[in-house]
């Protein structure tokens, strides 16, 4: 039995992922944003006939570093190892908002809070059974351009008048890839770190952002056409690559980037060793781990 942590588990690919892991007999610790989401998750699992005996649900607010810290402390108190850490939670092109920690919300939710969680949990991962960290990134990250610490600062603390929601989303996804590659260099003998483009998946992520209402009008009626043509994935299909990476016995490309269960060419920025080191150093400072 593997011990698996899955963030953003209450719907879409997260729910599909934990359902598959529970059906394998794994122990799953899932994070959601609220008690309401926790109740909904249990209800959906029951509707699918999935036992939640091996499921623990934790409330974690990824826009609050203190919430992430409490969750990490809880894991150290409750378990001695982590075998799979699947970072699925995220937001996409929301209206401008600074978190209580002072960061642009996409930067913190998609990247910085997950960065903090991984860094805190490294000792538990190093005691795991063939431990793997799987970060759900995006095709958008392939177009990310940030490559200096000054640019990183400008994304993390962007001013409202300079905020471009798609740019902030793109750079947050690039940083996920950068972090996985850097950790593979540092700890790759003990833990496997990979990032994933799941495809363009029809989930609630499209409908919660700044253009959510418009996306609901435009996308939902044509979703079936997207499925038929292969341009749009269901959550079940979107979760396939992450589940492959979590369960395969194949040798994985440590630090690599995957799509459709196969390696994919990543953003060249990921190979910039100096930037990777600068990004990790600055991020550790922001979360209080320097």
Which positions are annotated as active-site residues?
137, 169, 173
- Print the SS3 string covering 128-190: CCCCEEEEECCHHHHHCCCCCHHHHHHHHCCCHHHCCHHHHHHHHHHHHHHHHHHHHHHHCCC
Nearest to 259 by CA among 200, 173, 196, 213: 196
CB 108 within 8 A of CB 158: no
Buried b (16+ CB within 10 A) or exposed e, 92-125: bbbebebbeeebbbbbbbbbbbbbbbbbbbbebb
């Amino acid at each position: 039995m593997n011990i698996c942590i899955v963030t953003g588990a209450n719907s879409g690919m997260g729910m599909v992922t934990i359902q598959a892991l529970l059906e394998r007999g794994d122990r799953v610790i899932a994070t959601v944003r609220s008690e309401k989401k926790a109740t909904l998750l249990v209800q959906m699992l029951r509707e699918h006939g999935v036992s939640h005996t091996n499921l623990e649900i934790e409330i974690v607010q990824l826009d609050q570093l203190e919430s992430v810290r409490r969750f990490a402390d809880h894991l150290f108190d409750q378990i001695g190892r982590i075998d799979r850490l699947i970072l699925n939670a995220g937001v996409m092109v929301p209206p401008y908002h600074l978190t209580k920690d002072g960061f642009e919300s996409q930067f913190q939710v998609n990247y910085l809070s997950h960065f903090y969680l991984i860094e805190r949990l490294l000792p538990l991962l190093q005691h795991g059974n063939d431990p793997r960290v799987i970060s759900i990134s995006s095709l958008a990250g392939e177009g990310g351009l940030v490559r200096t610490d000054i640019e990183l600062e400008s994304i993390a603390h962007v001013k409202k008048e300079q905020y471009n929601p798609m740019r902030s989303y793109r750079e947050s996804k690039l940083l996920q890839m950068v972090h996985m590659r850097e950790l593979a260099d540092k700890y790759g003998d003990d833990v496997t770190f990979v990032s994933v483009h799941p495809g363009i998946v029809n989930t609630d992520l499209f409908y919660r952002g700044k253009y959510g209402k418009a996306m609901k009008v435009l996308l939902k009626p044509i979703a079936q056409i997207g499925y038929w043509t292969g341009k749009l994935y269901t959550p079940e299909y979107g979760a396939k690559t992450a589940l492959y990476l979590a369960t395969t016995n194949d040798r994985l490309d440590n630090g690599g980037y995957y799509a459709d269960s196969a390696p994919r060419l990543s953003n060249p920025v990921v190979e910039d060793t100096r930037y990777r080191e600068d990004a990790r150093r600055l991020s550790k400072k922001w979360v209080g781990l320097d």
